[in-house]
Chains A and B, each alone.
Chain A
Amino acid sequence: MKRDSWGKILLGLTTGAAFGFLLHKGRAAEHEAISGQLLFEDASVIKIMATASAVGALGTYALNALDLVDLKIKPLNTGGVVLGGTLFGAGMALLGYCPGTSMAAIGQGHADAAAGAAGMLGGAMAYVKAYPHIKPIIEKGSTGKQTLPEITDTSPWLWVAGLAGAVALGAGLQARNRNNADNSERQGLTDLAPRSDIV
């Protein structure tokens, strides 16, 4: 059995611990987070993902411009992404957690997430068994490792700026709405107690 150095595994453990800590603080490790997102009742998960993507894009493309990192692009296997994405979405709705948040949910003590993880190992075994037979379906319509700037022949910074701008706009709109809601609450004298819970 092959194994990386313990230093690398420890680096992964530390990075993962920070990731899990953040997922829990964002309340993404709750069943309500993913299911609420899929029912359009709670947009926390999409806000976390979009903000992480925008900030990560700024960092990664800046480091890439300095030749400090290489991009790790997953191939555009149209069959695998479309069929796999459909199965993934259906399974995620049934489980109520995604792979990362199910690990965080286990840390928080969700018994159903532990059952989900056992199922995930089973699903991976089924995939290993099925792979030689479904490989042609997965690779159907494959166009290789492509990025949006490559396909459209544009600067990646245009996309990074668009992504960051969209997230900043969303965050700004939410801050304004919350201020308005606070003000109207105060005008209506519905709640005179200090709002220590809103930071």
Chain B
Amino acid sequence: MAVLRRKKWSPYTVGAAIGVLETVAMLTAKKPLGITTPFEQAAVMVAEKVAPEAMQVDDYKAQSGMEPSIGWEWGLVGGVVLGSLVSARLSNDPIPPAVPDAWREKIGASPGLRIGAAASGGALMMFGARMAKGCTSGHGISGTMQLAASSWLFNPIIFAAGAAVAKALLGRKS
């Protein structure tokens, strides 16, 4: 299966296959692809174990009506890591450097700085995703395909905010 070993597929092929996968998920799991919900559920579980009072978990539960549970979405998140690992090994990809090229050129080679920035970026992104109830998968693909108004509002906002920050951080100085 040489095609599985190829390093890159056309974005249209990949996109069409993800669209089919979305349809299969709607049919088999009765829900579309999404990544960030299990992070909120995991956070509640950790908070409940470690510091239920300081984290006001009861207050959160009462207000949100959410009871965390380990389910389909948790499998989905783990599967994405696994599937990418399999594809990368089949393509014989080298292990990438901790500091991506564009970041090293524009900001610096310090791995500590890159790791700190990545963790802060991840935290900010997840906080925003939970406020909006979705991410690039849940709103960006799953929501837009269902023609949800919220998702068609979310997309231009994330790309506008993202483009502004990316330009300030990594944009070419000319």
In the assembled complex, the CB of B164 is this many whole angstroms from the nearest CB of chain A, namely 8
Bin the interface of chain B by size. Answer: 35 or more
Flag if A99 contacts B36 (CB, 8 Å).
Answer: yes
**Mask for A130-154, Cβ within 8 A of B = 1, else 0?**
1110110010000101111111000
Between B43, B55, B56, the greatest number of chain A beta carbons within 10 A of the residue's beta carbon is seen for B43
Q: A20-B79, A20-B87, A81-B132 are in contact. Are A120 and B150 (CB under 8 A)?
A: no
A122 at interface by CB-CB < 8 Å: yes
Task: Provide the bound-state CA to CA distance between A146 and B160, in Å.
Answer: 23
Task: Provide the bound-state CA to CA distance between A49 and B8, in Å.
Answer: 16
Which residues from B are CB-within-8-Å of A60?
22-23, 26, 32, 145-146
In the assembled complex, the CB of B105 is this many whole angstroms from the nearest CB of chain A, namely 11
In the assembled complex, the CB of A178 is this many whole angstroms from the nearest CB of chain B, namely 10
Q: Which residue in A53, A96, A111 is a CB contact (below 8 Å) of B121? A: A96
B109 at interface by CB-CB < 8 Å: no
Task: Provide the bound-state CA to CA distance between A149 and B149, in Å.
Answer: 9
Between A13, A31, A72, A87, the greatest number of chain B beta carbons within 10 A of the residue's beta carbon is seen for A87
Task: Provide the bound-state CA to CA distance between A81 and B27, in Å.
Answer: 27
Bin the interface of chain A by size. Answer: 35 or more
**Mask for A101-113, Cβ within 8 A of B = 1, else 0?**
1111111111111
In the assembled complex, the CB of B4 is this many whole angstroms from the nearest CB of chain A, namely 8
Q: A15-B21, A16-B78, A74-B134 are in contact. Are A127 and B84 (CB under 8 A)?
A: no
Known: A90-B164, A99-B125, A131-B64. 7 other contacts (CB 8 A): A12-B75, A20-B84, A51-B18, A81-B153, A92-B121, A145-B148, A171-B12
25 interchain pairs, CB-CB under 8 A: A11-B29, A19-B80, A26-B11, A31-B100, A31-B101, A39-B163, A51-B18, A59-B20, A72-B142, A77-B133, A85-B158, A87-B131, A92-B125, A99-B35, A105-B84, A110-B98, A112-B118, A119-B121, A120-B36, A120-B122, A131-B64, A134-B131, A145-B148, A147-B148, A199-B6
